[in-house]
Structure 1
Amino acid sequence: MMQNRQGPWADLMPRVLSALVMVAVAICAVWAGGLVFSLVIALSCGGMIWELSLMLAPRRFGLAVLLGAATAFAVMASTLLPMMAALAVVLLPVGLGAALVAEQARIRFAVFALWVVMAGVSFIWLRNGLGAQWLVWLILVVVATDVAGYFAGKTIGGPKFWPRISPKKTWSGTSAGWIAAAVVGVIFAARFDMGAGFVLASVLVSMASQAGDVAESALKRQTGVKDSSALIPGHGGLLDRFDGMLGAAAMFLFLFTFLG
């Protein structure tokens, strides 16, 4: 049997190539804004609900397609409606899925599906309401956290962060992610004319993105799957790639709502 000569870096090339494609799509969508950005987010949310449905009900592919399509349509439709009506619309596929999946999976579906659709609405509001630079900051915090954590974890290693839930994560990678997020915060604090509190906010967003990753890892362990899907070479599925973004969006909404 041939040995893998690349060792821990075996997945680096597909990860890099996939990341470049995702970055290109993200840049184009963020730059375009409006309906283009909303459509990208809506399709991403639909894809994540499709993955979630297959993780919880692996033999019901038709149901997964239905719920994914319903979610994408609901998130897109929410951009054309007043806030209260928009919230009611995006809750429809959440309730539909919770009613149709197996009884033992209903709570998990509802929690994760609600998380996904609310994050989608939040991203659309963030880009089209507050402006591109705020969304760029959020994305860079999550990307810096992920990249710094990946390389620090691979090169430094050390004690595991939470081996029972996420066996690959180390304390070195986790803390490196916080430091990278702080650097992004320093850069944008000057641009936004904000002080040290904004750097702290960037670190909190980083921690939330890591919490999102841990939550998705726990879901995969409960459902017995390695990746949420195989849509993205080297990264797994959309939930695998964007779980951190979901956590970051939730933290940003909390900070913006309660602290301003």
Structure 2
Amino acid sequence: MSGAWMAAIGIGAIIIGGVWFQMLAVFVTAVMVWECWIMIRGASPTSGMLLAAAVASILSAQVFGGALNYEFLGLFLVVPIIGAIILERERLTFFVFALALQIAGYGLVHFRIDFGFTWLLWLVSIVVVTDIAGYFAGKSLGGPKFWPAISPKKTWSGTIGGWIGAAIVGLIFTQFTNAGWTIILLSVVISFAGQMGDIAESALKRRQGVKDSSTLIPGHGGLFDRFDALLGAALFMLLVATVFNVPGVAF
């Protein structure tokens, strides 16, 4: 039931776009920074709530009114720096994750505003299909573990199954969009970036000795547990969209 509600809210916000999707991105990003804080600090989540409120304020200012304020991106350093100063341990860990979470949230809003619904649907579809195809391939085929020290359950068969699923998503999108064949290869790379986002969060939880990022979602853990792959994909795609001109990928 929790998964169905999350899917309905997420899909609805993506379709509607505008301030509704922006508010959802701001909320989810702020909560994930708070979850990162409590994983590292353990008790005393009050400071984390204040940092999450600061994240919400800063990110809201960046995307206010549907316009992206690129000149103020340096404000994303505020919360990571303050958190790193307050913490007595894992300062660099919090700094890196808090900064990455804000940039990823900003990237998702950027994609929806600048590239449109279909483009964001492609990105989300890659992450979802990678997860589903990887799960069933790993369960069916088994085999060597992908990175047992960090994520004992993930196998190479599941990882490659996710890539194949992502390639199929890219192929489908070539049929009803203006995207060229390059999108198939890019879909696979985005799939791998999403898997690395999952691995990064698994490494953080293992390092902190916790099973879930929080207990906010019944049966699912925290928001970070559910959006880690999408964040990895968004971070990588934001880098690609900012630094490179990828031919043939335009909807």
Structure 2 length as normaliser, TM-score? 0.92
Choose the corresponding residue for 1:250, options 235, 241, 245: 235
Cα distance in 1 for residues equivalent to 2:69 and 2:207: 37
Once residues 132 and 96 of structure 1 are traced to their aligned partners in structure 2, the CA distance between those partners, rounded to angstroms, is 35
1:18-33 equivalence runs, <5 A: 18-33=2-17
Structure 1 residue 153 corresponds to structure 2 residue 138: yes
Q: Is the 8 A contact 1:44 1:72 kept in 2?
A: no
Which residue type is aligned with residue 5 of structure 2? V
Q: Is the 8 A contact 1:78 1:90 kept in 2?
A: no
Separation of aligned partners in 2, 1:151 and 1:72: 37
Deviation at 1:233, TM superposition (A): 2.8
Looking at structure 2, the residues matched to 69 and 184 of structure 1 have their Cα atoms a distance apart, in angstroms, of 36
Shift in Å at residue 213 of structure 1? Answer: 0.5
Partners of 2:178 and 2:191 in 1: CA distance: 20
- Mark the runs of 5 or more structure 2 residues left unpaired by the alignment: 247-251
Amino acid at match of 2:187: S
Q: TM-score, normalised by structure 1?
A: 0.89
Give structure 1 stretches of 5+ with no counterpart.
1-16
2:249 aligned residue: none
**Is residue 2:127 matched to residue 1:118?**
no
Q: Tell me which residue corresponds to 1:46.
A: 30
1:67 pairs with one of 51, 61, 64: 51
1:157 Cα offset (Å): 1.9
User: What amino acid maps onto 1:149 in structure 2?
Assistant: G
CA shift, 1:237, in A, is: 1.1
* 1:156-201: CA deviation from partner (whole Å, max 9, x where unpaired): 2222111111001111111110011001000112333233211000
Distance in 2, matches of 1:65 and 1:222, equals: 22
1:92 aligns with 2:78: yes
2:184 aligns with 199
Q: Residues 148 and 234 from structure 1, CA distance in 2 versus in 1: closer, same or farther, beyond 3 angstroms?
A: farther
SS in 2 for 1:29: helix
SS in 2 for 1:167: strand
Code of the aligned partner of 2:48:
A
In the alignment, the residues of structure 1 paired with residue 141 and residue 216 of structure 2 have an alpha-carbon distance, to the nearest angstrom, of 30
For the residue of structure 2 that corresponds to 1:37, the secondary structure is helix
> Residue 150 of structure 1: CA displacement?
1.6
Within the alignment, does 1:133 sit opposite 2:118 as a pair? yes
> Residues 182 and 200 of structure 1 are in contact (CA less than 8 Å); yes or no, is this contact kept in structure 2?
yes
Corresponding residue to 2:212 among 227, 252, 259: 227
For 1:34, the equivalent position in structure 2 comes to 18
